[in-house]
A = this chain, B = another copy of it.
Amino acid sequence: MEKHSTGYFGSDGINCDWNDMEKAAISAISRSLIEIAWYFGPQGLNGECCENLTLPEFIALDKVSTTPHCAVQDVGHALGFTKSGATRIVNRLEKKGYVQKLKSHEDGRICCVEITKSGERVLSSADSRYLEQFHTIAEKMPEYTVADTVKLLTAMAKALKG
């Protein structure tokens, strides 16, 4: 459970998963992770998930669309932003017409952010774009089926949250 907290290069050979990999191969893992993160991240795909939507905006919009009575801070938490940053990204989405802000009836301090029809359209379009990208990549991995790749990535995403 805590075996990695004191270093994963442990040379004692006990409780270490990395024994049979040389340092070079290990380093390759972090490069792969970064490669993937960079490719699908904020700078990848020409810096936009689809026309008119950056990656943080996509994530924010997704959060709004999947959260009933979504507060501004909920968006902030999804992104790891401060409440100030949350306000700003929600405002941007509002200016683009993808969300609207409504005062909550239960709590006057809270803004309920809701996705608009236009927002749903662009969200789905961005989704498609990512899927297309993924499909293209998956095709270049003949040693894996698409289903297997999807399964592992899904498990990994789930592990990130847990």
How many chain A residues sit at the interface, stated as a range, is: 35 or more
Please report which residues of chain A, range 64-86, place their CB below 8 angstroms from some CB of chain B when the two chains form the complex: 79-80
Known: A4-B132, A132-B8, A141-B156. A55 touches B38 (CB 8 A): yes
- Complex-state Cα separation, A35 to B135, whole angstroms: 17
Q: How far is the CA of A95 from the CA of B21 in the complex (A)?
A: 35
Is B155's CB under 8 angstroms from A30's CB? no
5 closest pairs, A vs B, by CB?
A30-B130, A41-B41, A32-B157, A140-B159, A37-B40
A153 within 8 A of B: yes
> Which B residues are CB-close (under 8 A) to A37?
36-37, 39-41, 44, 55
Residues of chain A at the chain B interface (Cβ within 8 Å): 4, 8-9, 17-18, 21, 26-44, 55-56, 58-59, 62, 79-80, 126-128, 130-132, 134-141, 143-144, 146-150, 152-157, 159-162
A80:B30 contact, CB within 8 angstroms? no
Contact A153 B36 (CB under 8 A): yes
